[in-house]
A and B are shown apart, each in its own frame.
Chain A
Amino acid sequence: MNASTLGVRRFRLSNPRYGLLLNIPGLLIVLLWVVFPALLLLAASFLRYDNVNPVSFTGFGNYQRLWNSRVFGISVERILVFSLGSTALTALGGLLLAMCLSNVRKGGGLLRSLMIIPWAVPAVVSGLIWKWMFSPDFGVVSDLLMKARLIAKPLSIYSDPSLAMWGVIIVDSWTRIPFMGIILLAALLSIPEQIHEAARVDGADTLKRFFYVTLPMIQGPLLIGLMITTIFSFRTIDLIIPLTAGGPGRATYVIGYYIWDQITKSLNFGLGAAAGVVLFLITSLITMIFVYLLREK
Chain B
Amino acid sequence: MNIIIEMMSYPFLVRAFVVGIIVSICASLLGTSLVLKRYSMIGDGLSHVGFAALAIAYPLGIAPLYVSIPICIFAAFILLQIKESSKIKGDAATALMCSGALAIGVMTISLTTGMNTDVCNYMFGSILAMSVNDMYISLGLGISVLILYVLFYERIFAVTFDENFALATGTNADFYNMIIATLTAITVVLGMRMMGTLLISSLIVFPSLTSMRVCKRFKTTVILSAILSIMCFIIGLVFSYKYSVPTGACIVIMNIIVFIIFYTVEKLRESR
Partners in one complex: no
Chain B residues near A (Cβ < 8 Å):
none
Chain A residues near B (Cβ < 8 Å):
none
